[in-house]
A and B are shown apart, each in its own frame.
Chain A
Amino acid sequence: MIDKTLNWFDDRLGTAKGGRSFLDKIFPDHWSFMLGEIALYSFIILLGTGVFLTLYYVPSAHEIVYHGSYVPLRGQNVSEAYGSTVGLSFDVRSGLLMRQAHHWAADIFLGAIAVHMARVFFTGAFRKPREFNWIVGVIMLILGILNGFLGYSLPDDLVSGTGIRIAFSIVESIPVVGSYLAFFLFGGNFPGSGVIIPRFYVIHVLIIPAILVGLLAAHLGLLIKQKHTQFPGKGRTEKNVVGSPMFPNFIAKTTGFLFMSFAVIFLLGGFAQINAIWQFGQYQPFQISYAVQPDWYMGWLDGAARIMPAWEWVGWGHTIPLEIFLPAVIFPGLIFNILIVWPFIESIWTKDHEYHNLLDRPRDRPKRTAAGAAMLTLLFGVFFASSTDVMANFFQLPLMDVLWFFRFFVPLAPIVAYFLTFKICNEMRVAEGIGKRKRALIVERSTEGEYTTTEAPVRPGDGHEEIDAIPVPTFIDTTDPSLATAAGVRRVIR
């Protein structure tokens, strides 16, 4: 029966060949190669839960009177967007679980992208021929951040409304075109003419996800085409891929991982509250809550804006608000551009234009590792700077002291991190036996009282055994020798 069905498809679509190479695809085995899959699986959850949410969410700034089951809001004028979000949280079965899982999945999606990206960076996996895939990844990161911002803005609650207000000012701060651009995006001066919510909605649920799906296909397609990178090791060369095949090994592993990701995200969605918008209330432009932060992936921009001194440039009848233009436009622009061009910078710098399928150990490229560590320190610095008020309150310190600490920490710490990492890498390269598990020492005392030390035998599991490569089955697409015109030329029978 299965045979027949598969043959039916193969006869018409030729699925056997593609299926064979798919099932035989080799995945090098290392735990850090699976980080990207966290992002992939959270993205699947985002799509699924997101579709559920669109069934109940009303993308409209139109004012209604709330009559739902949350008592303190009853009788208040709220926008349909806010009212429907509170409604789907309280009055739709499993609505709150879906909303929270969606939100947690977004946080984890971007976190996984960041971790995956760090892995790719520190192991040099972005080098030729994979620069293009690195760029695709960076663009997905940017789009993911943007879509996260749009997504948490959709409920139209007090906290996210404050974020939209800041976004308006950021766009406005761009010289020359800023105010035109802001008016164009928001349909007039803030808070716009009620077009923000529907516009954000279309971009959030349609445009960016569509681009993301396309880029994801490109990302994975390139990965299959270019094959995986692998760590250097016995039997691993630039010309081969050593690992377990898709079927039956990897598929079991990755399916398990898929369900693990689902489990973690839905457990968080069920047991950890996120974005309790009913506690925040409807956004009103004249209201504000203190202690407002963006979601974590926007935090580094918020932090940069917080620690920036209040500078502005005034001339020829115009003002350029540097205090917001530099940290919120120039700074992220620089960061993302550095990320995109990094593979090319590095290949020019190192004059290395070779193909690389074997990965670097981070310690063997001390300058790159140090640069990455410096970048991460910078980003973590501004990220933590976005919670200056929470820290000041939590540790009972004066707010300005915390702020001034970050004003020095953010520019100085990356420099320290660079040299520290560089030094550590160099030390690790010359240290004996680093990265290997220490073997036990057996100390014995002889009858004369003399002590001798001998190394214990290798522990089971610490040693590496090579297994013979399993030959890939060749019964598909065998070439008929009689049809071969010349050696090496293969003619496929249609």
Chain B
Amino acid sequence: MARISRRSIAARMAAPTALVGAVAIFGLVAFSSGPAQADTTTTTTASTATTPAPVAVDPTTVATPPGDVTATTDTTSTTGPTPTPYGVGATAGSPGAQPGSVQAEPSAVTALPSAEATAKAAAPSNQGGIYYPALPAAYIAPGQALFAANCSSCHGAEANGKDGVAPNLQRLGAGTVDFWVSTGRMPLANTSAQAIRKPPRFNRTQTLQIAAWVQSLTPGEGTQIPLVKTSGADLEQGNTLFTLNCAACHTISGAGDALMEGAYAPSLHLATTTQIVEAIRSGPGNMPHFGVGNIPNSEARDITAYVTEVLQHPNNSGGVGLGGIGPVGEGFVGLLIGVGLLMLVCFWIGDRS
């Protein structure tokens, strides 16, 4: 029977311990940060894109004269399933962002008022907890300039697209534009693959200006920019609807997953309430779009609340969430940490001759 000194045990333990430990730590780190990495988004997105933040409204500094589009009728009281027509700005003003400036100046200013503030301010178009405040007309001219400088090379000067290059944006509405620009997907990084979420190039005001200009081309058409008041939402209903309509691609935990033909359903962990409703209504990329006949506004609000309040802050009772990707992460931990650790114990207390 061999007798082994403590020193040699330590020496022999060192290499396997380090190896298993390193692999295990890598696994934990990789899986626990999985969904975020999959979307190549940094935290800046989350902070800059948090829409319904308290607002600093400054209606005095209107940079450009409104122009003829302001003649559109003010139908802010529209209710029901029809999309709100683009109306004259009544609640918000322009903080006067530099037209044409593509350098995203991180601005704390959010041009749209918060959902709560809007609700108090005579509720322009409350549709089941979703509000469609009008964009200020003053946004249109700087929006056009921004569009011309950053978007028109593909989408054309009139936003009517180019065959085989980029789609026609007319009739898509401000909400569609806002979704693509505020999630950083536009301007596109790589024309051959699905657009990825990345830190947006434009600040909130600039994004809204571009959206306002595209909307002004076809007033009243397409998806509007929603503000969602999630406080009264029905989470149970949202859970049911999410499972039924969204989980088949975005997965039940909202972590997202790869789909066929190189497409993927992105993670929902960074999506804002506005972006979620915009995506539901406009159906970006491979996602189907759901009209108000399919998912009424109140249900869209429930889904949004479920995503932002439950999925983005999951109840991880029972410890580390392991990335919310289910048995793959669990098997990894069970085998590498569970069995691996116990094998090390074997190695520790057993003989190694």
Q: Does A70 interact with chain B (Cβ within 8 Å)? A: yes
Since A38-B339, A398-B258, A461-B4 are in contact, a sample of 9 more A-B pairs with Cβ atoms closer than 8 Å, ordered by chain A residue number, is A159-B327, A264-B345, A268-B337, A281-B243, A289-B251, A299-B331, A396-B264, A397-B258, A465-B2
Instruction: For residue A294, give the distance in angstroms from its CB to the closest CB of chain B.
Output: 6
Q: CA separation between A104 and B327, bound complex, in Å?
A: 11
Contacting pair B338 A392 (CB below 8 A) = no
Instruction: For residue A46, give the distance in angstroms from its CB to the closest CB of chain B.
Output: 13
Instruction: For residue A16, give the distance in angstroms from its CB to the closest CB of chain B.
Output: 27
Q: Does A280 interact with chain B (Cβ within 8 Å)? A: yes
A244 with B1: in contact, given A31-B346, A260-B342, A260-B345 (CB under 8 Å)?
yes
Q: Does A208 interact with chain B (Cβ within 8 Å)? A: no
Q: Does A341 interact with chain B (Cβ within 8 Å)? A: no
**What sequence of 0s and 1s flags, for each residue 442-476 of chain A, a beta carbon within 8 Å of any chain B beta carbon?**
00000000000000000111101111000000000
Instruction: For residue B91, give the distance in angstroms from its CB to the closest CB of chain A.
Output: 33
From the candidates A268, A273, A290, name the one contacting B334 in the complex (CB within 8 A).
A268
Residues on B with C-beta less than 8 A from A70 are 315
Instruction: For residue A401, give the distance in angstroms from its CB to the closest CB of chain B.
Output: 8
From the candidates B30, B249, B264, B349, name the one contacting A34 in the complex (CB within 8 A).
B349
A279 with B315: in contact, given A34-B346, A76-B239, A111-B339 (CB under 8 Å)?
yes
From the candidates A257, A402, A461, name the one contacting B3 in the complex (CB within 8 A).
A461
**What sequence of 0s and 1s flags, for each residue 253-283 of chain A, a beta carbon within 8 Å of any chain B beta carbon?**
1001100110011001111111110111100
A30 with B325: in contact, given A100-B318, A100-B319 (CB under 8 Å)?
no
Residues on B with C-beta less than 8 A from A371 are none
Residues on B with C-beta less than 8 A from A278 are 315, 317
Contacting pair B321 A273 (CB below 8 A) = yes
A159 with B326: in contact, given A75-B236, A115-B339, A467-B1 (CB under 8 Å)?
yes
Residues on B with C-beta less than 8 A from A426 are none
Interface of B is mostly: helix
Instruction: For residue A76, give the distance in angstroms from its CB to the closest CB of chain B.
Output: 6
**What sequence of 0s and 1s flags, for each residue 340-353 of chain B, a beta carbon within 8 Å of any chain A beta carbon?**
01110111111111
Residues on A with C-beta less than 8 A from B346 are 31-32, 34-35, 37-38, 257
Interface residues of A in 279-315 (CB under 8 A from B): 279-281, 284, 287-296, 299
Chain A interface residue number, banded: 35 or more
Pairs across A and B, CB under 8 Å, 29 listed: A29-B1, A31-B349, A31-B352, A34-B349, A38-B342, A38-B343, A71-B236, A74-B236, A89-B318, A96-B317, A108-B339, A115-B343, A233-B353, A257-B345, A264-B338, A264-B341, A265-B338, A268-B337, A275-B327, A276-B318, A281-B239, A289-B247, A289-B248, A290-B247, A293-B327, A295-B330, A393-B38, A396-B264, A400-B260
Find the A residue at minimum CB distance from B3: A465
Interface of A is mostly: helix
Contacting pair B243 A158 (CB below 8 A) = yes
Interface residues of B in 225-252 (CB under 8 A from A): 235-236, 238-240, 243-244, 247-252
Find the A residue at minimum CB distance from B248: A288
Residues on A with C-beta less than 8 A from B40 are 396
Residues on A with C-beta less than 8 A from B244 are 287
Interface core residue of A34, A76, A275, A279 (most chain B CB under 10 Å): A279
Q: CA separation between A466 and B218, bound complex, in Å?
A: 93
Residues on A with C-beta less than 8 A from B343 are 35, 38, 115
Q: CA separation between A269 and B330, bound complex, in Å?
A: 11
Find the A residue at minimum CB distance from B235: A72
Instruction: For residue A277, give the distance in angstroms from its CB to the closest CB of chain B.
Output: 10
Q: CA separation between A467 and B1, bound complex, in Å?
A: 6
A158 with B252: in contact, given A243-B1, A393-B264 (CB under 8 Å)?
yes
Residues on B with C-beta less than 8 A from A465 are 2-3
Q: CA separation between A460 and B11, bound complex, in Å?
A: 12
Find the B residue at minimum CB distance from A278: B315
Q: Does A117 interact with chain B (Cβ within 8 Å)? A: no
Q: CA separation between A31 and B347, bound complex, in Å?
A: 5
